[in-house]
Structure 1
Amino acid sequence: MRSLRQAALFPLSALLLLAGCAAVGPDYAAPSQRTSQLPASFGEPSTGLVPGAVEVAWWRTFDDPALTALIQQALAANHDVGIAAARLEEANAGLRESRQDFLPRGGPSFSYENRRQAEVERLPGQPRQTETYRGAVDASWEIDLFGRVRRSVEAAQAQAGSREALLRGVQAGVAAAVAATWFELRGIESELAVVTDIRRSQRDSLGLVEALVGAGSASEFDRLRAEALLRHVEVAVPELERRRAASVNALAILLGETPQTFRPPAVTPAPETLAVREIAVGDPAALLARRADIAAAERNLAAATARIGVQTAALYPEVQVHGSIGFVAGSLDAMSSAGALSGVLGPSIRWSVLDTGRVRARIAASEARTQEALIAYDQTVLRALQETDDAFKAYGAAGATLGLRLQESAANREAARLARVRFAAGEGLYLDVLEAERSDFTSRRALAVARTHQRLAVVSIYKALGGGWEGCAQADHGCGGADGTSNPRVMNQIAQKP
């Protein structure tokens, strides 16, 4: 055994020294140089948008406890979040498996063989029937001479980072979807409140006209027009109730609950004014650090770069050390004797020289995938800037539209009041009252819609900025998804980056 160790000592020492060499393939460099091409700011800011750090738990700025509770529940129970968390667990497990390639493989093995030799095989003086018992510990170790294992670990770690970013993106998307659905639900309730108010007014008007017809002061034509306007108002109710039911069902799915049994919190019509006064939007450089899709694209680029090294290593010899120590004997009793001790230790080199063409083709394919990942990263950055600019413009347009709708509604409401007063005083035609009330109804519904659009525009801004997932790092948030994983478990695996 001593001679065996001495024979293998020199080549093993040389191989261990060579194993410290740099891994083949390109070293990854983050595309940070592209940030220099970014604009310094988001351009001319819209009213209400200011520089500054983006709010982490942005939904709290709406001062709506029901919304905050819904988002917290969704982050803890949403199935998409649960799926993303499970995929992150899978990627981390793959990373741990890749790191095991640095260690030897193998373990104990036991075998028994009963062999009967043919006459031509049997040596003179030996029996034809033989038994062999073997018990040993076998091991093999790949010396990562050219960095195949190191590059594989780099790729697995980058892939885990991509899954982490995707989890963050799902969390941010779920928070935005809950807020948008909630505001749509409240907006529908506001429209229903308008319909209820106008319907009550139209019923009173119809009763008045019917009384005037009975007194001979109005015609049947006036009564029919009044009834038609009432039906015009009432016909909006079924569609609004359908939309309300659809919003409730969508909210149930976001919360991980069954639509048939889900009951949303008590919904009140949206308030007249928006609680959010100013929105801090940061700058484009901070956007790159916050957007989960950009982080995922960057990690995909890192993984693709590392895989070039994995394929390049196939051009070079693969060096392994194999070892085995144990006992081999012809009977169980003889296994404990000193003469049964057996061992082997030595390196092996395998070089697939004839496969060079195939390997170079795989390297070229990996390089193409890396170029694709780089282009995808650039495209993701551009789309993030586009979504942000679109959200800012939509917010400005929503604010301007709301201001005009407020003026329009106030004017139509006053016109309807004056038309009713004039008609009651015997001045003007009832047709004027009908037209004024129809305009009042239309403008009040449009105002409710404009208020909803303003709130949705705020949600779109925070979604475009990539905000929301940071709230999962806070102790009072459970963001494990549908499996009920506690917040510390999920966030620790993100923070530690195995």
Structure 2
Amino acid sequence: MKVHKIIPCFTLILALQGCSPKPPEVTFDPPLPDQFRENNQFITTSQSQVDLSFWWEQFNDPLLDDLIEEALKLNFDAQLAYEKINEIRCAYRISKWKYAPSGGMTGFAQRIRRSDDLLRIENPLKTSNATIPTTNIPFRDIPFDEIPFDQDDFIPRYQNFLFLGFDASWEIDVFGRIASGKKAAWQTMQVAIENARDVQVIVIAEVARQYVEILALQERIQVAKSFITSQKEILGLAEDLFNAGLASDTDKTQAKALLDTAQASLPPLENGLKQSIYQLAFLLGRMPQDLFERLAEKKELFSAHDKVPVGIPSDLLRRRADVRRAERELQAAHTKIWIAKTDIFPRFFLTGAIGRLADSGHALLKDENTLWAFGPYFTWPILDMGKILANVDAKTSQQKQALINYEKTVISSLKDVETSLVGYGEENERYKYLNDQVNSEKKLLKLSLELFQSGLTNFTDVLQQEATLLTNEDTLVQSKEQVVLNLIALYKALGGGWEVNTKAIGAKTIERAHFVEDKVEPDDTIYYYEEE
């Protein structure tokens, strides 16, 4: 083929490659309410974006900060999610290489021996004056000196073949099959990224939850131990009064029973404390021995004083990692329909090969032993059209399923926030009443002791007041714990914490991943993988 004929062909091929269609972008804007229905004095709503990146810092607990940072680096689920990003990113890189030609070098060296049938002579005579028979005679049965023609006219029994060459094939993306595959691979990678962020939100919330449970159990144990100490003193007083004839045996027995009850409450609390520490150690991806030492110091369970900036429902579409993941899955499902439809059309390729074939090494270096081939070809599986159309229908069904899952995830996110708002607000109210009740009962116990010492009441009233105070103090600690747990659940429902690995915590993630920044709004920075 002449050079001036090849150039227009290449020009046409490049034009077709550049004009290949790409799947359209799809966006989803589900209807959402303007405000959350549950609105109480413990939250604030604002039309502006709120920053929930480091929501746990409001507790002013350095140990909690350290535990969360360690969990983001060492938690097994988080590490698996980070590695999944790397795996799918490699698949995305593979999809980009499909634009390039495929092929490589090939070579072989063979020595063959042909069968006698291949060496059989149909008519070995070159002239009509030959004297040997004209029937089929094996070459080996003819005496060499009686052969009336050249030996080179025959195929040799033994022969060497040496080949060294290069071949390549390039698919021309006329109908956008490769472009759609690359887009789907990128969207799948975004799904993995959002999944890792969702795992991160869960890990942060679970670490904070376990830490709060540990502090609450420590405080409940301290309350029980203080009551046991106080009850031992009362039991001693009851025994002294009984010995002096000023109290009955019933009073002494009731005091002893109350002490036994308090002591019996300790083992379940100790058991719960140890189990919570073991669970926290698992979340941190480490052995629990060191954690027992770090948590040995008794600390009071913290409280949340600031109002929670919940924002507006539309913020969830951007802030909740699971919602963004569902949206990416929906986009990927839509793109895969486009990929399935491209199988309806033919695929065009441009192939070429060049090499040298000879029977010896030195002959392989000669130009006259060069061979080459070049040209286009296409494939069109028209007999598989039924399977192709069925695949398109299957991908369409998967896209509908992804749409249903997206709508479900959006509604579920609203449900999570509203439920958490109810729990946080109502438990705060309950805690305030319980706190007032405990303060009143402390005053009532003090008054009962004074009345008993004055002889104006019996010892049984003092014991009953002690038992009531113990129960309500324990309930108060549990309510305080539940307030903080509901607050953690609220921040989790709002999607707080997914941005952390791209800012300060989780440097291991930044080392493994390729993040870029995109300024969407003046005060709105999102982090994602760049489509290259």
- For 1:491 and 1:234, locate their aligned partners in 2 and report how far apart those are by CA, in whole Å: 56
Distance 1:258 1:388, change over 3 A: same
Q: Contact 2:170/2:351 (CA < 8 Å) preserved in 1? A: yes
| 170-179 or 252-261: bigger deviation | 252-261
- For 2:118 and 2:341, locate their aligned partners in 1 and report how far apart those are by CA, in whole Å: 47
- For 1:153 and 1:133, locate their aligned partners in 2 and report how far apart those are by CA, in whole Å: 40
Q: Contact 1:28/1:305 (CA < 8 Å) preserved in 2? A: no
- Report the counterpart of residue 482 of structure 1 in structure 2: none
Deviations 1:342-377 (A, max 9, x none): 111111111110000011111100000010001100
| Structure 2 residue 43 is matched with structure 1 residue 46 | no
Q: 2:21 aligns with which of 15, 20, 23?
A: 23
SS in 2 for 1:466: coil
- For 1:171 and 1:84, locate their aligned partners in 2 and report how far apart those are by CA, in whole Å: 9
Distance 1:161 1:309, change over 3 A: same
- Report the counterpart of residue 460 of structure 2 in structure 1: 431
| Structure 2 residue 84 is matched with structure 1 residue 87 | yes
- Report the counterpart of residue 184 of structure 1 in structure 2: 213
Q: Contact 1:175/1:468 (CA < 8 Å) preserved in 2? A: yes
Q: 2:415 aligns with which of 383, 386, 407?
A: 386
The Cα shift of 1:274 comes to 2.0
Q: 1:204 aligns with which of 233, 238, 241?
A: 233
- Report the counterpart of residue 125 of structure 2 in structure 1: none
- For 1:115 and 1:315, locate their aligned partners in 2 and report how far apart those are by CA, in whole Å: 45
Distance 1:326 1:362, change over 3 A: same
| 42-51 or 91-100: bigger deviation | 42-51
**Aligned residue type for 2:36:** F
Distance 1:405 1:267, change over 3 A: farther
Q: 1:490 aligns with which of 494, 513, 520?
A: 513
Q: 2:300 aligns with which of 243, 247, 270?
A: 270
The Cα shift of 1:20 comes to 3.4
Distance 1:396 1:486, change over 3 A: closer
SS in 1 for 2:161: strand
The Cα shift of 1:217 comes to 0.8
Q: Contact 1:472/1:491 (CA < 8 Å) preserved in 2? A: no
RMSD: 2.0
Deviations 1:7-44 (A, max 9, x none): 665555434333334437x6240213x1xx11112135
The Cα shift of 1:261 comes to 4.9
- For 2:305 and 2:290, locate their aligned partners in 1 and report how far apart those are by CA, in whole Å: 33
- For 1:298 and 1:267, locate their aligned partners in 2 and report how far apart those are by CA, in whole Å: 45
The Cα shift of 1:83 comes to 0.5
**Aligned residue type for 2:243:** G
SS in 1 for 2:343: helix
Q: Contact 2:330/2:403 (CA < 8 Å) preserved in 1? A: yes
Identical amino acids, percent of aligned pairs: 29
- Report the counterpart of residue 62 of structure 1 in structure 2: 59
Q: Contact 1:252/1:259 (CA < 8 Å) preserved in 2? A: yes
Q: How many residues align?
A: 485
Q: Contact 2:71/2:204 (CA < 8 Å) preserved in 1? A: yes
- Report the counterpart of residue 158 of structure 2 in structure 1: 129
The Cα shift of 1:302 comes to 1.3
Question: Going by fraction, where is helix more abundant, 1 or 2?
Answer: 1
Q: 2:281 aligns with which of 252, 255, 270?
A: 252
- For 1:119 and 1:28, locate their aligned partners in 2 and report how far apart those are by CA, in whole Å: 67
Aligned ranges for residues 320-399 of structure 1 at < 5 Å? 320-399=349-428
The Cα shift of 1:95 comes to 0.5
The Cα shift of 1:415 comes to 1.7
SS in 2 for 1:404: helix
- For 2:297 and 2:80, locate their aligned partners in 1 and report how far apart those are by CA, in whole Å: 30
Distance 1:389 1:275, change over 3 A: closer
SS in 1 for 2:499: helix
**Aligned residue type for 2:250:** F
- For 2:248 and 2:12, locate their aligned partners in 1 and report how far apart those are by CA, in whole Å: 111
| Structure 2 residue 141 is matched with structure 1 residue 108 | no
**Aligned residue type for 1:464:** A
The Cα shift of 1:214 comes to 0.2
**Aligned residue type for 2:324:** A
The Cα shift of 1:148 comes to 1.5
The Cα shift of 1:270 comes to 2.6
- For 2:393 and 2:16, locate their aligned partners in 1 and report how far apart those are by CA, in whole Å: 27
The Cα shift of 1:283 comes to 1.3
The Cα shift of 1:335 comes to 1.0
**Aligned residue type for 2:471:** T
Structure 2 unmatched runs, 5+: 122-152, 517-526
**Aligned residue type for 1:284:** P
The Cα shift of 1:46 comes to 1.6
Q: Contact 1:172/1:466 (CA < 8 Å) preserved in 2? A: yes
Q: Contact 1:185/1:247 (CA < 8 Å) preserved in 2? A: yes
- For 1:204 and 1:447, locate their aligned partners in 2 and report how far apart those are by CA, in whole Å: 24
**Aligned residue type for 2:359:** G
- For 1:478 and 1:160, locate their aligned partners in 2 and report how far apart those are by CA, in whole Å: 20
| 114-123 or 465-474: bigger deviation | 114-123
SS in 1 for 2:105: strand
- For 2:173 and 2:352, locate their aligned partners in 1 and report how far apart those are by CA, in whole Å: 17
Deviations 1:387-415 (A, max 9, x none): 01111111101110101110111122222
- For 2:27 and 2:183, locate their aligned partners in 1 and report how far apart those are by CA, in whole Å: 14
- Report the counterpart of residue 478 of structure 1 in structure 2: 506
**Aligned residue type for 1:217:** L
- For 1:417 and 1:312, locate their aligned partners in 2 and report how far apart those are by CA, in whole Å: 82
Distance 1:468 1:318, change over 3 A: same
- Report the counterpart of residue 485 of structure 2 in structure 1: 456
The Cα shift of 1:275 comes to 4.1
Structure 1 unmatched runs, 5+: 480-484
- For 1:147 and 1:55, locate their aligned partners in 2 and report how far apart those are by CA, in whole Å: 41
Distance 1:215 1:74, change over 3 A: same
- For 1:429 and 1:298, locate their aligned partners in 2 and report how far apart those are by CA, in whole Å: 70
